[in-house]
Amino acid sequence: MLDSTPAKRRKGHWLSFSALLLGALVFLFPFYYMLVGSFKAKSDPSLKGLVPTGLTVHNYAQIDSRVNLLRSLVNSGIFTGAVLLSTVVFGILGGYALARLHFRGRGTLFAIMLLVQIVPFQLLIIPIYVMIVRTYGLADSYLGMILPFAINSTAVFLFRQFFLQLPEELFSAARLDGAGELRILWSIALPLVRPALLTAVLLTFIGPWNEFLWPFLVTKQTDMQPLAVTLANYISNVAGRADNPFGAILAGAVVLAAPAIALFVAFQRHFISSDLGSGVKG
């Protein structure tokens, strides 16, 4: 009797591949629809509109004529870059302290941090606005836009969980050799938590890059507003009067989404597990 195990295995592989391919197509379809529609000269909501014909860059040219894209991109880079840097620095320090340092009240502090995550930012926006703009006088400034996002409790939690996975023997050996906590953090812990670092960067990038409400409240100066604010103003106030309003809206969405997609594509191959036990003998 012939062994049918290889045939069944190949059939299972093909079924798995087909299911994954179908899921990928379903996931990518909105992006394809958005991209093709942004290049259309005329709006076509029918199935024929999915065919990439009659393409033009006129919708993007209209955005560039109405919005200072370069200045908005610079503002978004300053805002998002500063938030990323502060989130990573404070997240690493806070996560390491909660995972590897022993001090009174550590459990209570961790519980409070978890409670902060369940409070939506929108509920705090009024008291934060009063504190940042009226108390500290940071209206119309990059610092006023950055401070509310400087510390991210999700990043602290993420780094804490990764630091807890590291073998205790690594830290004990370093302390026996006379290394201080900052030296241990820099030389031992950080190289082993690269997946957590990349995850925190991507998760943090999406928030400030797409943030509209807070920068809009802090400053009304168009030369300081990030890309999300300028494109939202364009879509709500100008796109409706464009030659192809539907294409203008989709073009604005493409401009806003493209950097986030590019960042994910560039770093997704680095989302691999580290060999956490590589530094331990035996």
pLDDT in tens, 221-250: 888 889 888 888 877 777 667 677 788 888
Q: Do the Cβ atoms of 213 and 149 come closer than 8 Å?
A: no
pLDDT surpasses 60 at 272: no
Task: Report the candidate in 34, 31, 28, 69 with the shortest Cα–Cα distance to residue 248.
Answer: 34
129 found inside a domain:
yes
Q: Is residue 104 part of a domain?
A: yes
Q: Please tell me the total count of domains within the chain.
A: 1
Q: Over 50: is that where the pLDDT of 273 sits? A: no
What does the CA dihedral 52, 267, 231, 51 come to, rounded to 10 degrees? 10
CATH number at residue 204: 1.10.3720.10
Question: In whole numbers, what is the pLDDT of the chain averaged over residues?
Answer: 82
Q: Establish if 151 belongs to a structural domain.
A: yes
Q: What is the pLDDT of residue 80?
A: 92
Per-residue pLDDT tens over the stretch 153-194: 888 988 898 888 888 888 888 888 888 888 888 888 888 887
- Asked if the structure places residue 5 within a domain, the reply is no
Confirm whether 91 is domain-assigned: yes
Give 179: exposed, middle or buried? Use CB within 10 Å, 0-12, 13-18, 19+: middle
Q: Which of 70, 52, 77 is nearest to 145 (CA)?
A: 77
Cα distances (angstroms) measured from residue 164 to each of 14, 167, 170, 267 = 39, 8, 12, 24
Kindly indicate the confidence band of residue 146, based on its pLDDT and cuts at 50, 70 and 90: very high
28, pLDDT greater than 50: yes
**Residue 86: which domain range?**
81-165+193-231+258-270
Instruction: Write b or e for each residue in 1-33: b if 16 or more Cβ atoms lie within 10 A of its Cβ, otherwise e.
Output: eeeeeeeeeeeeeeeeeeeeeeeeeeeeeeeee
Q: Is residue 100 part of a domain?
A: yes
- Assessment of whether the complete model's pTM goes beyond 0.85: no
User: Whole-angstrom Cα distance, residue 3 to residue 18?
Assistant: 25
Q: Specify if 3 maps to a domain.
A: no
